[in-house]
A and B are shown apart, each in its own frame.
Chain A
Amino acid sequence: MSAPVKASSAGGEAKVLSPAEIAKDLVITAIITFFILVPIVAIRTPLDQGTLTWHPRFGLAAALCGLVVVGRLALYLFVWNPKAKAALAPADASAPLKAVKGPSLGDRLGPKVAPTLLILAIALPFFFIIIGNADGMFPGWDRRGIDFAITVMLYVMLGWGLNVVVGLAGLLDLGYVAFYAVGAYTYALMATKYLPAWFGPEIKPYAFFISLPIAAILASLWGMILGFPVLRLKGDYLAIVTLAFGEIIYQVLQNWSVFTEGPRGISVPKLTFFGIPFDKSDGGFAATFHVGYNRIVYFAFLYFVILALALLTYFVTKKLRRLPIGRAWEALREDEIACRSLGINTTSTKLTAFAIGAAFGGMAGAFFAVRQEFISPESFKYIESAFILAIVVLGGLGSQIGIVFSAIAIIGATEAFREMEFLKYVLPEGTEPVQFRMLAVGVALVLMMRFRPRGFVTKREPTVYLKEKKAVSGDLVAEGHG
């Protein structure tokens, strides 16, 4: 009988456990799981003719409890077991953690990844249109595919924007959605109220492209207004204050009805092709360019707009990293005190990171509004910030390519939850697979921090070199102080 090992979390030293100890551990696990599940899961509290009542759901609780215990037993047998481990990783059985912490798939990506992705991104809508229109193969996939691609690209852009603040400057911003909201509302209010009032209704078709820079400027202004007082804060405080700021903005949007229409929201005009609407009218896109009218053209255009915005974010950030300001951001993340000893004004450095990150967020917000054609405060809750943060963290703090993959993975998984009809048979009644999406994001954050805290791409690319460019291993890169 092989003696399983329990990886002690504190020091990482492995302790060999006897079967009796394992049994004891499993009993404790069962007891703990019991209290976690009873009553939160074991009792349902549905409405019955207008009043609340309760129904037991002990079967489900027992099943989950059993699952946890069996799962832990399996871990003991197959993962925390030195023999099993040796079988899994024969090369370095002596360093069991190495298997987990070695270079990730992301780090093996070559230099050609970025151009390849770019070509793929440009080709994507055409691909979806082809497969969507190929007879009977994937009906409706043109629209759905492009929609999905737009969503991914939007979050890639948000991720890249937040990456400036969190990944490069090392400041944990939990209120990023505030700038997203500022951008969205800038466009919505500009397009529906101010631009028509100032310049007459003819301006309306151009509203998006006029509002876009305004959204960026306003968002970065807000970034500075909010950033200035809080950037002296350290660590966890910064996180919670930015969270509070995000909430304040949400509450103001919710309650300042005269200005924001409150929870009713604002309907906003559609995107136009630089003034030419995508409709069947004589002045429409189809008539102007003598192509047949097809709704998909509009979605493809939306896609290319967000692709262009995302690429702007990408290239500006990439360039900034090589300039003194970007280098100062990274230095700040590495060691703020050393920065100050070198004469770097850390407050203004942080502020620029905040402002630039916010500007990208603002543009993404404006795009979000034009795409949804309707906005309300509900889209700008804290959980959205957490979602974007998850994308950045999973991608690998500071890595732009990693964020692309994590956005695809997370949003793909979300969509997959929607698709997984079969889950309905497994899940307790009254729950939809799609409800599990944020739960999965939360679990992913915890697991990532535990097993791959540096995310998908852990290597850092130097911004300047003397002889040859060598990537810096993630183990040396600091992740800021919050």
Chain B
Amino acid sequence: MEYFLQQLINGLTLGSIYGLIAIGYTMVYGIIGMINFAHGDVFMVGSVTSFILVLIGGVSFGLSGNSAGIIILLALVLVVAYAMLVSSVYNWTIERVAYRPLRGSFRLAPLISAIGMSIVLQEFVRIAQEARPKPIQKLVTGGYELMSKQVGEQTFAVTITNMQIFIIISTLVLMTAFTFIIQRTSLGRAQRACEQDTKMASLLGINVDRTISITFIMGAMLAAFAGMLFFLHYTETDFFVGFAAGIKAFTAAVLGGIGSIPGAMMGGLLIGIIEVMWSAYFSVEYKDVAAFTVLVLVLIFMPQGLLGKPEVEKV
């Protein structure tokens, strides 16, 4: 029971990260009906950028796990703000260069272009930053013991680390802000209009190009945030983290019902929990296999996902 609880906490933490990435997939799919294959790599760019900044902070400004809490928080805010900016620029550029010119081209064109873009990003970062994983000291340390139990000689404690609290709370805050934007602002309305019918939206005077760009930027910001959390959580990152995380986040988006933002978050949490539980109770080696299998099963048996609307193929 205690073990399960601990895994649940770990799963929720990981799931929050997947959920944040999944939103980017879901929003882009909603608005232009394609999988942004490069989204996982935009997440990676966010992750690597925050790594570099944290490293600079550590080497040149003495930032470490022992610094005062407020300083760490301040540093992280700066880091994530810049990482969001960088990721946004990347995703915006990708859309401009690789997807926008292909609107109206044949069906596979944007998809292949996206695959190309994903390779470009990975290789670009690999060449610029070398392929080695980049480890770093734990920045957010400490935590709370929720309960403990004596098992023979050993005590088993259920703990929640400050890092986990940070991840869960910041995800909640971000999600709330985000839901507000989508539901209450004219920007959100424009996005929803484009989702339903791009042509109609443009007839009604909505600037579709701009709305799509902003969607990509928003997705990138969330992905960058997730990238930083991911790197802080695992205290390591490299050019390849976007690949597996990207597929899993995509799985989350599909599981939640592609096009649905709460669905993406829910799917993310589920995938996080499934992955962690699988590692805890079955085998760590096959955790990715478990997540990918979920993707396949969901697509086959429940293609509309948990919160998505079933779609009848228009003939």
Contact = CB atoms under 8 A, between A and B. Distances in A.
Given A36-B89, A229-B296, A439 B123 contact: yes
B106 A389 contact: no
Contact of B35 (A47, A240, A244, A439): A240
Contacts of A243: 247
A118 B89 CA distance: 49
Nearest to A432: B127
B132 A47 contact: yes
Given A36-B90, A386-B119, A479-B109, A244 B292 contact: yes
Interface stretch (A231-239, A309-317, A405-413): A231-239
B105 interface: yes
Contact of B116 (A241, A244, A442, A479): A442
Given A40-B45, A229-B300, A244-B292, A449 B119 contact: no
- Chain B contact residues: over half helix, strand or loop, or mixed? helix
B109 A233 contact: no
Contact of A248 (B107, B120, B293, B315): B293
Given A45-B55, A47-B132, A54-B55, A236 B34 contact: yes
Nearest to B120: A442
B175 interface: no
A428 to B, nearest CB: 8
A431 interface: yes
B49 A40 contact: yes
A40 B128 contact: yes
B120 A439 contact: yes
Nearest to B100: A9
A427 to B, nearest CB: 9
Contacts of B286: 251-252, 255
Given A229-B300, A240-B250, A252-B289, A450 B101 contact: yes
Nearest to A61: B128
Interface in B21-36: 34-35
A286 interface: no
B111 A482 contact: yes
A236 B111 contact: yes
A446 B292 contact: no
B103 interface: yes
B113 interface: yes
B197 interface: no
Chain A CB within 10 A, most for which of B56, B120, B243: B120
Interface string B93-137: 100111011110111111111011111101111111110101110
Interface string B44-70: 010011011101100110000000000
A248 B247 CA distance: 12
A255 B35 contact: no
Interface string B284-303: 01101100110110011001
B117 A446 contact: yes
A449 B136 contact: no
A397 B107 CA distance: 13
A237 B119 contact: no
A32 B93 contact: yes
B167 interface: no
A87 interface: no
A448 to B, nearest CB: 8
A123 interface: no
B: interface residue count bin = 35 or more
A430 interface: yes
A59 B75 CA distance: 27
Given A36-B93, A239-B111, A480-B107, A442 B292 contact: no
B240 to A, nearest CB: 10
A40 B135 contact: no
Contact of A251 (B127, B251, B289): B289
Given A10-B209, A52-B136, A240-B35, A442 B119 contact: yes
A215 interface: no
A70 B42 CA distance: 26
B89 A35 contact: yes
Contact of B97 (A230, A245, A252, A446): A446
A353 interface: no
Chain A CB within 10 A, most for which of B119, B295, B315: B119
A10 B52 CA distance: 36
Contacts of A65: none
A377 to B, nearest CB: 12
B30 to A, nearest CB: 13
Interface in A32-75: 32, 35-36, 38-41, 43-47, 52-54
Contact of B296 (A35, A230, A255, A450): A230
Contact of A446 (B98, B134, B299): B98
A129 B87 CA distance: 52
B85 interface: yes
B100 A386 contact: no
Interface string B255-272: 000000000000000000
Contacts of B293: 248
A213 interface: no
B295 A244 contact: yes
Given A439-B123, A449-B102, A248 B111 contact: no
Contact of A54 (B49, B59, B93): B59
A439 to B, nearest CB: 4
A54 B283 CA distance: 37
Contacts of B103: 10
A220 B303 CA distance: 26
A172 B111 contact: yes
B232 interface: no
Contacts of B128: 40-41
Contacts of B105: 449, 453
8 contacts: A10-B209, A241-B296, A255-B283, A255-B285, A438-B122, A442-B119, A442-B120, A449-B98
Interface of B: 34-35, 45, 48-49, 51-53, 55-56, 59-60, 85-86, 89-90, 92-93, 96-98, 100-103, 105-113, 115-120, 122-130, 132, 134-136, 209, 243-244, 247, 250-251, 254, 283, 285-286, 288-289, 292-293, 295-296, 299-300, 303, 313, 315
3 A-B pairs closest in CB distance:
A445-B116, A442-B119, A442-B120
Given A241-B299, A448-B116, A479-B109, 17 more contacts: A39-B49, A40-B129, A54-B56, A230-B299, A244-B292, A247-B244, A247-B288, A248-B292, A393-B112, A445-B112, A445-B113, A446-B116, A446-B117, A446-B120, A449-B105, A450-B113, A478-B107
